[in-house]
């Protein structure tokens, strides 16, 4: 794992559905700290409008760094100052009504900010956070009878793709009012889809013991503009800085318009057994939809949107996994539960010892991307004091991953019976056992740092650096080894969590942060990238040329 206080690298394990924080309360004054700090450093700057450099007063400025620091607010000249800061790396973000949220050095949503390296007793001046006027999307929601829908949750979402899987990340959210009207403001320029969701009522139990979720007359499904259930069919909405896009009206489909899926569960002998189940969309462009059915039963029924779904079930009789395709007709299927597979082993340090009391989490992650959202029982294990771990109730294709490790430690190898399990898919059909697995962690990782120059060999202050393995076989899931870095306030980049090996590095003006964690997108950088080899514990400095991507 990387040292949180020393990196400014965007990793692929980003959470994709984080909601923007609510608007801050009006500041009581322009104070910048509400409790004393003990450091000796200072960061000063301004928050200004991107279109004309107008200073923005009462903008809320949040600083992130090695310690928790209360936010501050700009004065009438748009100035802010954070004092008594300990040495470390910092990032700054700003929010103000009528403007899109902005981070120091970021040019668009999802781009990592530029970090500020602050020395003990040092002062960094001239940190300008530029804010663009926010765009807005507004409209009205109605039901199938043309009546307004109140209190529907409405989201403006950006499309992202990770490891070949299309999903969305929410940029703004709101609730529809009593007229069914909504407004999603503070949006950066870009392309969005609008989705409305209406909470389902509590479950009801029908005759025969079938558990039914959502009342048939009032429950409604998730609906994208212009009134469709699939992300692939959603209409994209392009907005420019400060644009007001109105009349984005659409109808929210009632759940009774969807087909009903009924699941029955049996044990290995064919006898009915209780189970709890989760569904995950198997369509690559469906948006990473996961439906949890929050109760046990021998037979469970729910309305499901059209498409291909993976179903995971678990109960006292074991586990089961199956695929089902939903169209316009109701579907009933029976799932047989079986004893799941098991993996046991130990976490060890490469040529040394882990820190005292170190805890490591090992995950048997589903190999298939549409199964990854499913939180299968036993898929995550925490090591004991002796480093031992055990994963159980495993079904389907899995890959072993280190979910968390002590700061500064990275997974170097995962070994079983003399072969490597890193990036290997392990198929569990029921009852398999793998014992004696060794997970090897190392703190001897390499650091790559340096600068970027233009065609005249002049150093640049703003750019992005993409680093990924030269061996294409290591890009099955780019999140493990690919890195995206931005420079600090002095124009220097640093990546300090590389395993020894051969990499390709490319410095470019901009990177599509909604696409970069995909092998095909990274392949575009290969013809212009610089080959770099790093050894264990090596600290390598380079000067990279700014290149154009074909």
CATH number at residue 496: 2.60.40.10
Q: Are strands 341-349 and 433-442 parallel, antiparallel or unpaired?
A: parallel
Q: What distance in Å separates the CA atoms of residue 411 and residue 444, rounded to the nearest whole number? A: 11
Q: What distance in Å separates the CA atoms of residue 67 and residue 89, rounded to the nearest whole number? A: 10
Are residues 382 and 349 both part of a single domain?
Answer: yes
In 3D space, the residue among 31, 37, 45, 113 whose CA is nearest the CA of residue 68 turns out to be 37
Are residues 384 and 451 both part of a single domain?
Answer: no
> How many domains does the structure of the chain reveal?
5
Are residues 480 and 528 both part of a single domain?
Answer: yes
Q: What distance in Å separates the CA atoms of residue 522 and residue 383, rounded to the nearest whole number? A: 34
DSSP sequence for 431-447: S-EEEEEEEEEES--EE
pLDDT reported for residue 309: 86
Are residues 149 and 165 both part of a single domain?
Answer: yes
pLDDT reported for residue 9: 37
- In angstroms, the Cα distances linking 394 to 73, 294, 359, 377, 422 are 51, 20, 22, 8, 18
DSSP sequence for 251-309: EPPBGGGSEEEEEEEE-TTS-B--EEEEEEE--TTS---EEEEEEEESEEEEEE-SEEE
In a domain, 289, yes or no: yes
Query: Which of 256, 288, 322 represents a domain boundary (last residue)?
Result: 256
In a domain, 550, yes or no: no
Residue 320 belongs to a domain with what CATH number? 2.60.40.1120
Q: Hey, CA dihedral for 523, 526, 529, 533, is it positive or negative?
A: positive
In 3D space, the residue among 436, 443, 499, 435 whose CA is nearest the CA of residue 467 turns out to be 499
pLDDT reported for residue 167: 76
pLDDT reported for residue 378: 55
pLDDT reported for residue 492: 96
In a domain, 164, yes or no: yes
Query: Which of 305, 336, 367 represents a domain boundary (last residue)?
Result: 336
Which residues pair with residue 131 across a beta bridge?
49
pLDDT reported for residue 21: 38
In a domain, 324, yes or no: yes
Residues 381-418: pLDDT tens digits?
999 889 999 999 898 889 999 999 999 999 999 999 98
Are residues 151 and 172 both part of a single domain?
Answer: yes
Are residues 290 and 212 both part of a single domain?
Answer: no
- Show Cβ contacts of residue 274 under 8 Å, excluding neighbours closer than 6 positions: 265, 296, 297, 298, 315, 316
Q: Whole-model pTM?
A: 0.78
Are residues 371 and 278 both part of a single domain?
Answer: no
CB atoms within 10 A of CB 268: 13
Residue 21 is classified by DSSP as P
Q: What distance in Å separates the CA atoms of residue 383 and residue 363, rounded to the nearest whole number? A: 11
In a domain, 3, yes or no: no
* Burial (CB count <10 Å: 0-12, 13-18, 19+), residue 32: buried
pLDDT reported for residue 22: 39
Q: Print pLDDT tens along the chain (550 aa).
A: 333 333 333 333 333 333 333 344 444 333 334 445 678 999 999 999 998 889 999 999 999 998 889 999 999 999 999 999 999 999 999 999 999 999 999 887 778 899 999 999 999 999 999 999 999 999 999 998 999 999 999 999 998 877 677 778 899 999 999 999 999 999 999 899 999 988 655 444 444 444 444 444 334 468 999 998 888 889 999 999 999 999 999 999 776 667 889 999 999 999 999 998 888 876 655 555 677 776 789 998 888 878 888 888 999 999 998 889 988 899 999 999 999 999 999 999 998 889 988 889 999 988 766 566 555 455 889 998 899 999 998 988 899 999 999 999 999 999 999 899 988 889 998 889 999 999 999 999 999 999 999 999 999 999 999 999 999 999 988 989 999 999 999 999 999 999 999 999 999 998 988 889 999 999 999 999 999 999 999 999 999 999 999 8
Q: Which residue range forms the structural domain that includes residue 285?
A: 258-336
Are residues 17 and 127 both part of a single domain?
Answer: yes
In a domain, 203, yes or no: yes
pLDDT reported for residue 233: 87
Are residues 174 and 281 both part of a single domain?
Answer: no
**3-state DSSP assignment of residue 346:** strand
Are residues 68 and 46 both part of a single domain?
Answer: yes
In 3D space, the residue among 507, 485, 484, 499 whose CA is nearest the CA of residue 538 turns out to be 499
pLDDT reported for residue 52: 86
Are residues 245 and 356 both part of a single domain?
Answer: no
Are residues 103 and 178 both part of a single domain?
Answer: no
In a domain, 1, yes or no: no
Query: Which of 284, 303, 336 represents a domain boundary (last residue)?
Result: 336
Residues 226-265: pLDDT tens digits?
998 888 889 999 999 999 999 999 999 776 667 889 999 9
Whether the Cβ atoms of residue 446 and residue 534 lie closer than 8 Å to each other: yes
In a domain, 154, yes or no: yes
């Amino acid at each position: 794992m990387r040292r949180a206080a020393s990196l400014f690298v965007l990793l692929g394990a980003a959470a994709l559905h984080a909601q923007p924080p609510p608007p801050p309360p009006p500041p009581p004054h322009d104070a910048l700290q509400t409790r004393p700090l003990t450091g000796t450093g200072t960061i000063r700057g301004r928050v200004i409008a991107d279109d004309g450099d107008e200073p923005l007063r009462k903008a809320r400025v949040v600083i992130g760094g090695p310690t928790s620091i209360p936010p501050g607010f700009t004065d009438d000249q748009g100035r802010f100052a954070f004092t008594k800061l300990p040495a470390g790396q910092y990032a700054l973000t700003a929010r103000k009504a009528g403007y899109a949220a902005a981070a120091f050095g970021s040019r668009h949503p999802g781009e990592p900010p530029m970090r500020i390296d602050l020395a003990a007793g040092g002062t960094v001046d001239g940190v300008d956070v530029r804010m663009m006027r926010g765009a807005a999307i507004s409209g009205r929601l109605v039901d199938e009878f043309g009546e307004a829908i109140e209190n529907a949750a409405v989201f403006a979402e950006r499309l992202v793709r990770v490891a070949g899987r299309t999903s969305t990340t929410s940029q703004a959210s709101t609730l529809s009012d009593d007229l069914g009207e909504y407004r999603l403001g503070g949006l950066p320029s870009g392309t969005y889809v609008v989705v409305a969701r209406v909470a389902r009522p509590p479950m009801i139990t029908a005759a025969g013991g079938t558990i039914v979720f959502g009342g048939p007359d009032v429950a409604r499904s998730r609906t994208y503009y212009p009134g469709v259930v699939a992300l692939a069919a959603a209409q994209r909405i392009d907005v420019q800085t400060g644009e007001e896009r109105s009349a984005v009206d659409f109808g929210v489909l009632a759940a009774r318009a969807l087909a009903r899926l009924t699941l029955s569960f049996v044990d290995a002998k064919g006898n009915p057994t209780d189970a709890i189940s989760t569904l995950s969309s198997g369509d690559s462009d469906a948006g990473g939809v996961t439906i949890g059915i929050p109760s046990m039963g021998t037979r469970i029924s729910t309305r499901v949107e059209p498409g291909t779904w993976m179903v995971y079930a678990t109960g006292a009789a074991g586990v089961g996994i199956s695929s089902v395709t939903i169209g316009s007709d109701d579907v009933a299927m029976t799932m047989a539960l079986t004893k799941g597979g098991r993996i046991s082993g130990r976490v060890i340090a490469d040529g040394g010892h882990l820190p005292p009391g170190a805890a490591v989490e090992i995950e048997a992650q589903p190999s298939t991307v549409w199964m990854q959202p499913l939180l299968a029982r036993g898929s995550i294990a925490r090591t004991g004091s002796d480093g031992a771990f055990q994963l159980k109730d495993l079904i389907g294709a899995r890959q072993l991953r280190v979910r968390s490790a002590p700061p500064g430690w990275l997974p170097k190898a995962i070994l079983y019976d003399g072969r490597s399990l890193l990036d290997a898919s392990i198929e569990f059909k029921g009852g398999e056992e793998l014992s004696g697995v060794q997970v090897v962690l190392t703190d001897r990782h390499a650091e790559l740092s340096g600068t970027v120059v233009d065609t005249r060999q002049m150093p640049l202050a703003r750019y992005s650096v993409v680093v990924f393995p030269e061996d294409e076989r290591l890009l099955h899931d780019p999140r493990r080894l690919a890195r995206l870095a931005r420079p600090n306030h002095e124009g220097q980049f640093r990546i300090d969590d590389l395993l020894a090996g051969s990499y390709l590095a490319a410095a470019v003006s901009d990177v599509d942060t909604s696409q970069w964690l995909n092998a095909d997108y990274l392949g575009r950088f290969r013809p212009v990238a610089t080959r770099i080899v790093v050894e264990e514990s090596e600290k390598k400095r380079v000067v990279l040329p700014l290149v154009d991507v074909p």
